[in-house]
Amino acid sequence: MRTGKLDIQSTTYMEMIDITTHIEKITTTSEIETGFCFLFNPHTTSGLTINEGADPDVREDIITGLKHIVPMRLHYQHVEGNSPSHIMASLMGCSLTIFIENSRPFLGQWQKIFFCEFDGPRSRQIHWRLAANI
């Protein structure tokens, strides 16, 4: 099993960063033909998701939708003031499991892998593990 970390630098308060190329590089250099790529985000105000990557407006629409679902100004108790970021991160989730086929992430035609920043800008890390089929 191969493991590592991917450094990510967000540049705005909320953004979806396409990390697909980085994950492809990890899988294609791994010598694992068929298996799994596990991604884990240890941060409580960011998430991971797979969604459409062809149209950048989809990313903005997702953020707009999350802001509609999670009010930015509510009487939150958390003293740091970033409760909406924690809630959005919980909605997205902190991990992904991706099939590896032909040493590449197995994704649909329009799918990309995104790191979702909800409390940036920040320096972040994603932990990854690759496992061959058993």
Residue type, 61: D
User: Where do the domains of the chain lie?
Assistant: 53-101
Q: What is the pTM of this model?
A: 0.96
CA quadruple 11, 13, 18, 24: dihedral sign? positive
CA distance 61 to 67: 10
pLDDT tens-digit profile of 17-46? 999 999 999 999 998 999 999 999 999 999
Average pLDDT, rounded, for the chain: 97
3-state SS assignment for residue 36:
strand
Q: Where are the beta strands (DSSP E) in 41-81?
A: 46-52
- 3-class state of residue 95 by DSSP: strand
**CATH number for the domain whose boundaries are 53-101:** 2.60.120.460
Spatial contact of 102 and 33, defined as CB atoms under 8 Å apart: yes
3-state secondary structure of 116: strand
Place 1 in a pLDDT band, splitting at 50, 70 and 90.
confident
